[in-house]
Structure 1
Amino acid sequence: MIRNLQFNSPPDGTVDLLVVAGEASGDEHSALLVSGLLKKFSNFQISAIGGKRVEKEGAHLVYPLVEHAVVGVVEVLKNYSTFKQIFKNTIEWIIKYKPKTILLVDYPGFNLRLARELKKLGVSVKGGGTVKVLQYISPQLWAWKAKRRFEMEKILDGLGVIFPFEVDCYKDTSLPVAFVGHPFAQSEYKCPISYAPEGPLLLLPGSRVQPVQRILPVFLDTLDPLFIDFPNLQVSIPVPNSQIRTVVESLLSSRATIKDRINVVESDLKMEARAALMSSGTMSLSCAIAGVPGVIAYRAHPLTYLLGRFLVTIPFLGMANILIPEAPPYPEFLQGRANRKNLYQTILKVLQNEDSKENSQFVAKKLLKRLQVPDEQGVVEWLSQEISLV
């Protein structure tokens, strides 16, 4: 974990909008939003507690929260003191610089707690203050902890959701909720992946350290027999930052027979792929939208998984499978089932199956249709209306 916890001041002390995004996917979604917002309102002052992508699009980076991203109950507890200090610094920064609006992007464990504290301190509108607090991207109420919607009703001023079915999750609350379309379905979105029959097999173990450490070794185990079946197979592992690159290269260093056949590439570069072995995160949805066939596998900390079995109420983990439950496009293997034998046998069929491309292209069109809204109803328009720019 990074030890520098210093927060940066806004350039001229003015903050029209503070974006808070704690994960790589949230940083990516925020970047699209910030880019669209500044194209319409060039003098709008945006600060971000987020990552390099939102900074690249014109937001002033207050603190690189994305670089602290972890997943699971156990991982959060291990880093509790760091998160406690970051949270404290965030509250102090907000009180000092008084942003007119705060946009909380996904990351509900941190962000909903932040909204709750701002109400308690009388800073937010819901607490009698002046700061409007909005949430972009809903927690997965349809999967677990559905009762959070009643707390969200009390601490948020508005919510923009990215899946159409999520609006109904809040129909018994007074919280204003709007379907604003998925970022990946926006015309401005440039999918980082494209299907190419002669492209490499992508290994997509995630964007956070602990998941990568758990699932990448299994992906690497799967390559040994695959290289026998496909002597000319190309393999690439995209990495979102230097921290993940270090983890990946460390895991590769002990794989003398295969490490020289694997390319570690920057994930913000355009990638081609014939297939993918992937975790269940954002990149799996990117693959589905790009029409790339593949297999989903995931391993959580045993305690996190045990809790999840009691709390999660949906049959799938991958978002493409959740959105198309009548014909889920990707096989899923979780925990012990995410092993070399299962992954090898399944990805082998994908690589050998000529119909995989046609099936995946069909899935891509169906997904985009379900994730789109007309341009005039998109997230930039929603946020502009919420903060009275139009």
Structure 2
Amino acid sequence: MKVFLVAGEMSGDKLGGALMQGLRQLVPDVTFEGIGGPAMQAQGLISQFPMDELSVMGIAEVLPKYLHLKRRISETADAVVAAQPDVLITIDSPDFSLRVARIVKDKSDIRTVHYVAPTVWAWRAGRAEKMSHMIDQVLALLPFEPPYMQAAGMRCDFVGHPVTTEPVGSDAEVLEFREAHDLGDEPFLLVLPGSRRGEVGRLGPIFAQVVADVVNARPDLRIVVPAAAPVAVLVKDLVKDWPGNVTVLDPRGRGEQEAQREKRAAFRAAHTALAASGTVSLELAAAGTPMVIAYDMNWLSRQIIAMMLKVDTVTLVNLVSETRDVPELIGADCRADRIAPVLLDVIGNPGAQSEAMNVTMDRLGRGGEAPGLRAARAVLDGLDRLERAE
């Protein structure tokens, strides 16, 4: 069996690596070609070109590389058609992946699978119908996504979310973390202002005032800020005048395993968290840490998205658990004077979100078969090969 995979960023590479491992477990003689990063290369993929060439976001970043990316799309599609694999699996990065899949479909009858469903349940529902012209099957991370894809004519399998297989900080790691940062038994607030410069720039001043208000009301509270490597300098500059005896977790110059160990210990040890919107809410739920979600964007984007948004919450814990237990302050509500009182309420009653977080993790597949293996089974079943593989 021959599989061609395309991933364009680190999160997709992790999904791809787990999927490849699952495929190899079910079909030992499977071979792989395509584009991927270290996780996929560890499973035997020789990437046709460095994956980081595709890891660009935003108009300002994409425009200078547009012609190069267009060439890469054409090269990748031609490589797929030449390889004649049993299946092409594109992983997230839809701007690149779906363009490749469209060309492949125009030139061949190769089966196409896309891993990670677009958020059509939130906005731009028309994306599902457009995908159906080049994608045969979708692998979904969230349990409520399949009906949206199926309605557009594609097979869609919920395969579980990778957050359910990520390690959670142990008691020993929590103790080690507290000792290393001289936290003792003091409660601390985890502040997560985002991993991109634009996010940190917008949310930083708002979060700064929230922290000042909360620490004024709760002077016993310490502040811990995990910083993503690309914005670590910006975060350190941001928090230098914050109250709360701030600890910044800077992953630069440290091994990946050491940095991840510290991060998961901080998530598990935290009393509460204030976080930018995104998948971080699932990481916090996995660690059992109650949270408040806040996010804003530029004025024009806010107006456009407000008109297109189809849901009354964007927090994944709320959506998966079918509750509204996690407070979120988005757009015009993302103001310190509104966030701080809500955050203080959560700090005073941290157990209110426990059930929603547990339901979320169970529905995402906690305790079940690993998502990579489930995804592999779904791919093989789509090829009518699952019975033969077993």
TM-score (norm 1): 0.77
Q: How many residues in Structure 1 have an aligned counterpart in Structure 2?
A: 353
| Paired residues of 2:20 and 2:43 also in contact (CA < 8 A) | yes
Q: Deviations over 1:179-199 (max 9, x none)?
A: 2223334xxx12456797866
Is residue 351 of structure 2 the alignment partner of residue 362 of structure 1? no
The match for 2:341 is 345
Aligned equivalents of 1:205, 1:57: Cα separation in 2: 34
Q: 1:254 to 1:184 in 2, by over 3 A?
A: closer
Q: Which runs of 5+ in 2 are unaligned?
A: 175-184, 252-258
Q: Residue 233 of structure 1 is aligned with which of 218, 222, 240?
A: 222
Which residue identity is paired with 2:210?
T
C-alpha displacement at 1:144, in angstroms?
1.7
The match for 1:80 is 63
Q: Residue 220 of structure 1 is aligned with which of 208, 219, 233?
A: 208
Which residue identity is paired with 2:298?
H
Does the residue aligned with 1:178 lie in a helix, a strand or coil?
strand
Is residue 130 of structure 2 the alignment partner of residue 151 of structure 1? yes
The match for 1:65 is 52
Aligned equivalents of 1:182, 1:310: Cα separation in 2: 29
Q: Deviations over 1:139-164 (max 9, x none)?
A: 11112222222222221121122223
| Paired residues of 2:272 and 2:347 also in contact (CA < 8 A) | yes
Is residue 248 of structure 2 the alignment partner of residue 263 of structure 1? yes
| Paired residues of 2:142 and 2:160 also in contact (CA < 8 A) | yes
TM-score (norm 2): 0.77
The match for 1:211 is 199
Q: Deviations over 1:255-281 (max 9, x none)?
A: 432397222244633333222111221
Instruction: With a CA cutoff of 8 Å and minimum separation of 6, indicate the structure with the bigger relative contact order.
Output: 2
The match for 2:369 is 375
Pairing of 1:189-204 with structure 2 (within 5 A): 189-192=165-168, 200-204=188-192
| Paired residues of 1:203 and 1:238 also in contact (CA < 8 A) | no
Which residue identity is paired with 2:102?
R
Greater helix fraction, Structure 1 or Structure 2: 2
Q: 1:349 to 1:317 in 2, by over 3 A?
A: same
Aligned equivalents of 1:157, 1:366: Cα separation in 2: 31
C-alpha displacement at 1:338, in angstroms?
1.4
Pairing of 1:1-390 with structure 2 (within 5 A): 16-41=2-27, 44-46=30-32, 49-55=35-41, 59-61=45-47, 62-65=49-52, 68-70=55-57, 75-76=58-59, 79-96=62-79, 98-99=82-83, 100=85, 101-120=87-106, 122=107, 124-125=108-109, 131-185=110-164, 189-192=165-168, 200-228=188-216, 229-231=218-220, 233-239=222-228, 242=229, 244=230, 247-253=231-237, 255-258=239-242, 261-266=246-251, 268-269=260-261, 270-271=264-265, 272=268, 273-325=270-322, 327-353=323-349, 356=350, 358-372=351-365, 375=369, 378-386=374-382, 388=385, 390=389
- Percent identity (aligned): 23
Q: Deviations over 1:84-111 (max 9, x none)?
A: 4224224314424645233222233332
